């Protein structure tokens, strides 16, 4: 359990430190190249899901925030059970990554509207402004800043629907929390046979639990 807690704490700390720094030092839309033209810190905010996806309206935002809270409790319980049963260390790491990422974005949604004023193209946000925050509980915006336009080109003119339009890979702007969730889920999917076969063997008594 200590290893899982350390993973969650470390990712959560890095995620929130970077978000608060970006929020209090960047104008909305401000962008700085870090490594040539393929990695930028680009400040944007989204009101919905990872990578800029969203549900419409205030009720959609509230529904998404409540879903995140419920999901965190479920994932937290899953992690607790996995560590108590001494399950595969790869599974524990993946669950820890997913939990840390979910918590990171929940903090934005739950509290950023209360503790920051609005970020605009003309104003840098202030932490704990005298006039109060820009939103209410569970209606905060998620801070994104990691942008990797590794390939920038155009669709060929003969390409259906998008012929001649700009093509950017990878276009979405995201954050450390999003990365943690994506990494955890991706590893579970790619290595599911190894992870869940090991668990099946342990449950059937064919092997011994991995030492935590």
| pLDDT tens track for 16-42 | 999 999 999 999 999 999 988 889 999
**Phi, psi (deg, nearest 5) at residue 204:** -90, 0
Compare 64 and 72 and report the one with higher pLDDT.
72
State the pLDDT confidence band at 208, using cuts at 50, 70 and 90.
very low
Enter the pTM of the model. Answer: 0.83
Catalytic residue among 108, 166, 178, 203: 178
Q: How far apart are CA 101 and CA 80, in angstroms?
A: 17
Can you give the pLDDT at residue 204? 52
Give the model confidence (pLDDT) of 134-184 as tens digits.
999 988 999 999 999 988 888 888 888 878 888 777 889 999 999 999 999
Are 144 and 52 contacting, i.e. CB atoms less than 8 angstroms apart?
Answer: yes
Q: How far apart are CA 163 and CA 29, in angstroms?
A: 27
Can you give the pLDDT at residue 57? 56
Q: Can you tell me the mean pLDDT for 87-105?
A: 94
Q: How far apart are CA 206 and CA 187, in angstroms?
A: 24
Q: Which of 11, 17, 93, 101 is nearest to 51 (CA)?
A: 101
Compare 21 and 204 and report the one with higher pLDDT.
21
Residue 108 confidence (pLDDT) above 80 = yes
178 is catalytic: yes
203 is catalytic: no
Compare 155 and 95 and report the one with higher pLDDT.
95
User: 10 Å Cβ neighbour count for 92?
Assistant: 22
Q: How far apart are CA 113 and CA 134, in angstroms?
A: 5
Catalytic residue among 15, 108, 144, 166: 144
Distances from the Cα of 21 to the Cαs of 17, 88, 94, in angstroms?
6, 36, 27
Q: Which of 76, 51, 64, 41 is nearest to 140 (CA)?
A: 64
């Amino acid at each position: 359990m200590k290893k899982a807690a350390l993973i969650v704490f470390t990712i959560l700390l890095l995620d929130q430190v970077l978000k608060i720094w970006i929020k209090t030092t960047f104008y909305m839309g401000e962008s700085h190249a870090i490594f040539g033209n393929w990695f930028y810190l680009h400040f944007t905010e989204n009101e919905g899901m990872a990578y800029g996806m969203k549900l419409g309206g205030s009720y959609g935002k509230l529904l998404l925030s409540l879903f995140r809270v419920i999901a965190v409790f479920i994932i937290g319980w899953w992690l607790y059970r996995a560590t108590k049963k001494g399950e595969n260390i790869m599974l524990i790491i993946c669950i820890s990554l997913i939990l840390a990422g979910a918590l990171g974005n929940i903090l934005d949604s739950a509290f950023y509207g209360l503790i920051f004023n609005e970020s605009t193209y003309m104003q840098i946000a202030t932490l704990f402004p005298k006039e109060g925050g820009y939103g209410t509980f569970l209606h905060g915006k998620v801070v994104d800043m990691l942008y990797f336009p590794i390939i920038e080109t155009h669709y060929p003119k003969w390409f259906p629907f998008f012929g001649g339009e700009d093509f950017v890979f990878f276009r979405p702007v995201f954050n450390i929390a999003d990365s943690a969730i994506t990494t955890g889920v991706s590893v579970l999917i790619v290595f599911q046979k190894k992870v869940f076969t090991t668990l099946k063997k342990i449950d059937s008594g064919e092997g011994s639990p991995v030492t935590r």
